[in-house]
Structure 1
Amino acid sequence: MLNACLAACFLFAAHAHADEGGMSFWQPGQIGTFAAVPNDPGLSWSFSAYHADANSEKTRKSLRGRTTDSQLSTPNDLLFISPTYTFATPVAGAQAAVSLTGLYGRAEVYTQTNTTNARGKPRSQSSDDSRDGIGDLYPMATLKWNRANHNYLAYATVGIPVGAYDPNRDANLGSNHWSYDAGGGYTYLNTQSGTEFSAVLGLTLNQKNPDTDYRNGADVHLDVSLSQFLNEDFHIGLVGYAYHQLSNDDAPGIGNKNLKSQVAALGPQMGYFFPVGKKKWYVNLKAYDEFDAKNRTSGWNAWLTLFVPM
């Protein structure tokens, strides 16, 4: 039913905002189905269009009777491009591959604050910032082992801070700090029944932003996929993720304030293999609805990914 060379909708392209900007190095939901399934040796490309619409609201009341309502909205539109080379010679009994992911897109940040004093007098402030540009670069190395229906993955990736960044702006496409992420994954793929399940667990560590002296805390993240083929080329299913920050952020003025963030999400997916010349390309569409968010914006996001074997 499924040739292993087509199992490559596994895009490690992190959305390049720091935790200090409300987002993490690791963009939850970036993986797809077949995460640990080996590919055919050679060059392949992944193109992924990403749209997210997220917001947060906070209400604070002071001892003097002042009420402050704050709203933050962060819509984003990004295009991730990821060439991958898979080696023919095994490494430690596994298939080795390397990739480099870059992105171009538009980041937007809108804020509005409404304050009412003890006498009932209102005051409003708002700001908005947006910018187009390139983001950071993300080289990655993977090892994949296949044992019949069971597939295993080990990966390591780095965030290289070369993207558009200005410490005086809210909308940034670069993080301005190095990040390191590693983890492992598993895929169950039964070609007879057409059933697929994938899960990838990873840990992120961050260096300090030299312009702000802000260091994001370490985090752990889990991305999952479950799908069923309805025929040889078409499958549908569910996707989900969970993100949890393990250690607090470190920056001047934080003190003992707990800024650990978390979020979870679930949503539908569908994928389709189609012939182009002698190869089969693959397209995947998935969407996530977020919940259980803390200390970060939440909303919904969607990914449209095209995998092109060469």
Structure 2
Amino acid sequence: MTTNRLIGFIALLTACTAHADDGGISFWLPGQFGTLAAAPTAPGWSLPLVYYHVNASDGGSKPFPRGGRTTLGLDAKADLLFASPTYTFAEPLLGAQAAISMVAAVGRSEASVDATLSGPRGKSFSGGTDDSLKGASDVYLLGTLKWNHGVHNLMAYSMGNLPVGAYDPDRLVNIGLGHAALDAGGGYTYFDKTNEFSVVAGMTYNWKNPDTHYKNGIDAHLDWSASHFITSQTQLGVVGYFFNQITGDSGSGATLGDFKSKVSAVGPQAGHFFKVGKDL
């Protein structure tokens, strides 16, 4: 039997600013894995949807590299809708349920700065400026293996990107990364049909951005979720994440030296499973 489902999640997270990575954007979207992250799903096609909102400010306390500039007083926000067409295989692989996904987002990002100390192509500026952009993200390819043992579930995953999103090294804001990256890790989910707890940890390796000559350091991250199913299809709960850069940024474009980011967040979540199509 194959059941097709549309899975919708809304998570509202309150975060502090991450003060590193090229343009302030990491490959790993903090909070990417949430409810039932490691739990097997019905074989066949599914379409998880995730709305992501972030609002961040550095308060003008330190210089920050962004869009080929070194800036002060950054105030940025973004609204993104991620879609992840996913195919789950019916036949086990290594005793696990295998699935592949192609992830992409559309949305809007905007930012303003109080002062620009240096600009793209070596130019210097002063005074405030702002920028906004609507467009699509890079394309992310995700593969997972999930093992089920009653209420306990384990997962291994790997994920990489094709840097094809909206990106311009001379802009203050971008949605695409402008460079390739690879992430891998594992997770655990407890699920007794009523209560759920999930945690996923991983690490990211980044390649150098050929336009800015900026190479992000190695990132470590942990996403978690705790929720209660008020019906068999609807759950409410909380989600959060921890993100910590364990090696500094490098390359000739990393003008501020051994820069590292660290960010955490927590907020409410709501989810509902929509059945589409027919059982076969």
- Report the TM-score, using the length of structure 1 for normalisation: 0.74
Deviation per CA, 1:156-178: give whole Å up to 9, x if none: 00011111211111111111111
Specify the alignment match of 1:243 in structure 2. 243
Structure 1 unmatched ranges of 5 or more: 12-17, 61-68, 116-123, 280-309
Specify the alignment match of 1:145 in structure 2. 147
What is the rounded CA distance, in whole Å, between the counterparts of 2:85 and 2:275 in structure 1?
Answer: 20
Give the CA deviation at 1:190: 1.1
Matched to 2:163, the amino acid is P
What is the rounded CA distance, in whole Å, between the counterparts of 1:32 and 1:181 in structure 2?
Answer: 17
| Equivalent residue in structure 2 for 1:154, among 146, 153, 156 | 156
- Asked if structure 2 preserves the Cα contact closer than 8 Å seen for 1:7 and 1:35, the reply is no
Specify the alignment match of 2:198 in structure 1. 198
Greater fraction of residues in strand: 1
Specify the alignment match of 1:183 in structure 2. 185
| Equivalent residue in structure 1 for 2:96, among 78, 94, 104 | 94
Deviation per CA, 1:247-280: give whole Å up to 9, x if none: 000022657833110011111222334555757x
Distance 1:150 1:111, change over 3 A: same
**Higher Cα Rg, which structure:** 1
Say whether 1:220 aligns with 2:216. no
Q: Secondary structure at the residue paired with 2:128? A: strand
What is the rounded CA distance, in whole Å, between the counterparts of 1:9 and 1:159 in structure 2?
Answer: 23
- Report the TM-score, using the length of structure 2 for normalisation: 0.82
- Asked if structure 1 preserves the Cα contact closer than 8 Å seen for 2:82 and 2:106, the reply is yes
Deviation per CA, 1:25-64: give whole Å up to 9, x if none: 111012220001111111111222222221111347xxxx
Matched to 2:178, the amino acid is N
Q: Secondary structure at the residue paired with 2:60? A: strand
Say whether 1:126 aligns with 2:150. no
Q: Secondary structure at the residue paired with 2:22? A: helix
Q: How does 1:81-120 map to 2 (within 5 A)?
A: 81-113=83-115
Give the CA deviation at 1:113: 3.0
Give the CA deviation at 1:134: 1.6
| Equivalent residue in structure 2 for 1:54, among 46, 53, 56 | 56
What is the rounded CA distance, in whole Å, between the counterparts of 1:229 and 1:81 in structure 2?
Answer: 23
Give the CA deviation at 1:186: 0.3
Matched to 1:252, the amino acid is S
Specify the alignment match of 1:299 in structure 2. none
What is the rounded CA distance, in whole Å, between the counterparts of 1:114 and 1:21 in structure 2?
Answer: 14
Deviation per CA, 1:85-141: give whole Å up to 9, x if none: 0111100000001010112222212111399xxxxxxxx711011121221000111
Q: Which has the higher contact order (CA 8 A, sep 6+)?
A: 2
**TM-align CA RMSD:** 2.8
Deviation per CA, 1:179-218: give whole Å up to 9, x if none: 0000000000112xx1211000000000001111110000
- Asked if structure 1 preserves the Cα contact closer than 8 Å seen for 2:115 and 2:129, the reply is no
Distance 1:214 1:260, change over 3 A: same
Count of aligned pairs between the two proteins: 253
Structure 2 unmatched ranges of 5 or more: 11-19, 63-70, 118-125
Specify the alignment match of 2:252 in structure 1. 252
Specify the alignment match of 2:13 in structure 1. none
What is the rounded CA distance, in whole Å, between the counterparts of 2:38 and 2:9 in structure 1?
Answer: 8
- Asked if structure 2 preserves the Cα contact closer than 8 Å seen for 1:10 and 1:31, the reply is no
- Asked if structure 2 preserves the Cα contact closer than 8 Å seen for 1:197 and 1:225, the reply is yes
What is the rounded CA distance, in whole Å, between the counterparts of 1:50 and 1:172 in structure 2?
Answer: 16
Matched to 2:50, the amino acid is S
- Asked if structure 2 preserves the Cα contact closer than 8 Å seen for 1:72 and 1:112, the reply is yes
- Asked if structure 2 preserves the Cα contact closer than 8 Å seen for 1:217 and 1:246, the reply is yes
Give the CA deviation at 1:230: 3.1
Give the CA deviation at 1:7: 11
